Amino acid sequence: MFVLCLVSLIGICRTLALDLSKAVVCSPRTLSGPEKKAVTMLVEEVEKRTQIRWERASIWPSGSAAVVAVGVESELNSFAGEYAEELSRDRKLEGREGYRIRVKHGKGASVVFVIGNDARGVLFGVGHLLRSLRLKPGAVTLPDDFSVATAPGYRLRGHQLGYRPKTNSYDAWDEARWEQYVRDLVVFGCNAIELIPPRSDDAAASPHFPLPPMEMMIAMSRLADEYGVCAQRVGRRVQKIAAR
């Protein structure tokens, strides 16, 4: 009797995990630059951990595979398919950079929606989804009752980055490593970075630098712009942003 109950319980638990291993990522053609980066980050970070490369589509898929639909609230009609009207009435948390993640089960494929209040909301919503997915080689799952609606409580959530020989890690990082670090920051909701300019009390050069300091600072600024993250050099500017 105990064995039968245990087997039944295991079976029930398995049904609570939504299988996204063959999911298709659907997003509008009109994505902004940071929104495109968010979708690319989602696909690539899942692939790194599972060896599964999700397909992407700009129109609602017609097959039976699960769908991960990503976009901004104002574009619901272009990426939410038959759920657009229902989601427009759904409870959400107003506010800049807010987002919601919803799971829907219809007659066809199951759908995971990541809906941002704005472009950064899309980025941080994707980050929340990445933190919540259960990833292992060959499999991607999510609890099928997963649901969240949230917005940041603090307007400025920043981190200082230093490309300099004062630490034992940053001065050897190339642009690809910096992009991964920026991704790691935005996955946890960071919306600003403060860059230490080459003119500081640090040594002017390092044998580990893959690029001269000014060139790397330009590259880091470009990465911040691509992800829609505020980038400022050390000084009063960030203090002014925080005071608003």
Contact yes or no for 187/219 (Cβ under 8 A): no
pLDDT band for 23, please (50, 70, 90 cuts). very high
pLDDT band for 168, please (50, 70, 90 cuts). low
In this prediction, residue 126 carries a pLDDT of 98
Instruction: Write down the domain spans for the chain.
Output: 16-150, 158-243
Cα separation, 64 vs 54, in Å, equals 14
Q: What would the pLDDT profile of 80-139 be if each residue is shown by its tens digit?
A: 989 999 999 887 788 999 999 999 997 778 999 999 999 999 999 999 999 999 999 999
Neighbours of 154 (CB within 10 A): 9
Neighbours of 139 (CB within 10 A): 14
Query: Quick one: tokens of 16?
Result: 């609570």
Specify the length of the chain in residues.
244
Topology adopted by domain 16-150? Chitobiase; domain 2 (3.30.379)
pLDDT band for 21, please (50, 70, 90 cuts). very high
Q: What would the pLDDT profile of 186-230 be if each residue is shown by its tens digit?
A: 999 999 999 988 877 778 888 889 999 999 999 999 999 999 999
Beta strand segments in 162-244, E: 192-195, 230-233
pTM of the model: 0.87
